Structure 1
Amino acid sequence: MIKPSMPVNEAERLAALQRYRILDTDREQGFDDLVTIARALCGTRMGAVTLIDHDRQWFKALQGLEGIQTPREEAFCAHTILQPLQLTVVEDALQDARFSGNPSVLGEPHIRFYAGAPLLSSDGYALGSLCVFDSIPGVLGGQQAEALQALSRQVGKLLEMRVLRQQIDHHRAEHDWYEAHLAQYYQQLEQLNMELSEQTRTDPLTGLPNRRALAAALSEAIERGMAVTPAVAIVDIDHFKMVNDIHGHDEGDRVLTELAGTLRSQFAGRGMAARYGGEEFVILMPETPMQQAELQCQYLRESVSLLPVGLPITLSIGLAAHRPGETAQDTLRRADAALYQAKHQGRDRVVVAD
C-alpha cells in the first residue's frame, strides 16, 4: 500500500474545508439522495460523500456499509483529492500498488472497484469526493463518468447552500435576498436530480428504457385493469455471443443499437420496448389482443433482416398475455418460458405461452 501524499496547498485546503462547518454534522437527505443516484448509475453496492480532514476521512453520507470515519492514510479519497480536476478510477484495487495492501481491500468491505469525483470548494480546493465502490472489479463507462462528475458538482452546490443557509439564519431579518436565491438553488437542484433519476431508468447504450422502467410500466398497465390485458414479449438475438466473439464487442454494440432503433420505431406510441439485459429486450403491448400482438412480433422478427449491420441476424421471441391474478413477474416468467421453447425448437420464431 502507498500512503497518500499531502497536497501542496494542504493548509489552504483545510482552511476551505473548515469554512463550511460541516464536519461531524448529522446526515442529510440531500447528500444521501445524490449517493443513491450515483450508485444506481454506476451499478455499485456502496457509495459515499467523503471529506478529508487533517488525519481522517469523514463520511457525510455512506451507503452499503456502516461507519463514521476512517484514517486518512487508508482512504482512497485521500488519493482522489491529489488530482482535483479529474476522476480517480481503480478497476481492481488488488492490481494497484496504491491500494493492494489497504486494510479495506484485504478485509471488510473488500473493496476492489472504486471511482471518485473530487468535491471542490467555491475557490477550487479539493475537500473530499463523491465516490462509488464495490467488492468486485469493475469499469466506469463514459456516460457514467460524466454523470458522476455532474453529481459531484451538485454535492458542491449543497455545500454552498449550507453556507448560504448559515448566513441567512444569522442575518434573516435584513437579508431577504438570500431567501430568494436559496429557493432558486433548491429548484435547480431538484430539477437536476429529477433528470439524473430519469437516467437510472434508461439503458445508456441503446437509449431504451431499462429493466427498472419496464417493471414499473408493466405493473402500472396491470393495475389499470383494462378489458384487454397487456401482452409481453421477450426478444432474444440468436447466437449473439458469436457476434461478439467473431466480430468484436463494438460490432455487437452496433447490432444492439440498430435493433433498439427498430423496436423504438415499431412500438413508439403503442407500448414500450425496453432493454432487459445483455441481448434480451422486452416489449410491453398494453390493451393489445393476443392475435395482434403475435402479428407484431412476427413482423419484428422478419424486419430484422433489413437491419443495416451486414450480418445475418435473427430473433427468438416468447410472447405471453397477462392473466388475472398474476403478478408482473409471473407474466414475464411465462414469456421467458415461451422464449426458451422458441430456442429449443430451432430459434428464429415466435412462440406464444400456454
Structure 2
Amino acid sequence: MIEILLATYNGERFLPEQIESITSQSFKDYYILASDDNSSDCTFEILRSYESVLGEKIKVVQSNTHSAKENFYNLLDMADAEYIALCDQDDFWESDKLEKSLKAIQRLEKRYGKEMPILVHSDLEIVDENLNSQNKKMSELTGINEAIKYAKKESKYLYTISTEKSFSRYLVENNITGNTVIINKALLDIYKRPEVSFMHDWWLGLIAFTFGKVGYLNECLVKYRQHESNELGANNPLELRNIKRRNKQRIRENYDCMFAQVEEFLRLYKDELGKSRSADTYFARKYLNAFANMKSKNRVSKIRDILKYSFFKSSKILTIGEMLNI
C-alpha cells in the first residue's frame, strides 16, 4: 500500500487534473490522504466531491497552518503506511509514476534491508500551465547531476547517492524535489517534526542521508506545472533576470534558516547521532557539526570551512555568492 499525501491550498484550477492523473496510475494499491489548508476557493469542495466518487481510496481533512511545509508535516504526522508518496496539487503524474517509484524503493530495500530508512526521488519535466513541454528538466537546474557522478548505479535509471561525497553540498542546496518523493516505513518511523526547517523535502532528505539511503531515479515521472503561483520554482538562478531580482536581505535570511535547520536537526537527533555506528551517520555528523559551527565564525573562517568541507552549490558562481553572503 502506498499512502499519497496531498497538500492543498487554493488549488481549484489544477487539482482535478492532478487527482485524475493519480486515479489513472498503473499501480492501484494506493490511498490518498488530503489536507486542505483553509482554502478560500472551491478546493475543499472539490476534494469532498472526490470522496463520494473514490470512497475509501481518499480521506480529506482540514488544516490551518498557512504554510505548505507545515501542511505536509501535518500529513506526515497522520501517515501510517508501508510507503508514503508526497503530492503537490498542481502537478501531473505520469501513469507509471507510482509503479516505478515503488519498484525503485523496493530494490533498495532488497539491497539494504527493509529496516533501512530510504527516500527515493526522481527527475521531473517542466511544463506550462497547459502541460505543454518547456523542453527542460528539473535536473538541469539543481545539483543532482553532480551527485550522480559519485553515486552507486543500481539499475539503468536508479542511483544510490553517496552521503560521504554529496551530503556536504546538500546542506547548502536542496536537490530533492518533494513532489517526486517516496519514503518507506522505516524512514517514517524515525521522522521527527521540526520546529524550524527550510522545507519538508529538505528535512526528509537530511534524515535519509544521515540514517539511511537516498535513491534517485533519473527519469521524469512528474510534469511540474509552471504558472504564476510557482513560477520561480523551476527557474535557472544563473539567468540574468533572476540575478537582478535577488533580494540580499532574503538571501541572508535563507542562510540563517539553513543554519537553524541544521541546529534543529542536531537537537532533535542528538541521541540517534551518538548511538549510530554506521559510516554514513559518521560522515553526516561530521558535516552537520562543521556547518553549524560556521554560524559564529567570521567571513574568512567561513570561506575556509566552505572550501575544507566542500559546502559547494551547483555552480561556481553560486558558490562565490554563498561565500559573500553566508
TM-score normalised by the chain length of structure 1? 0.24
In terms of Rg, which structure is larger?
A: 1
Higher relative contact order, structure no. (Cα contacts within 8 Å, ≥ 6 residues apart):
2
TM-score normalised by the chain length of structure 2? 0.25
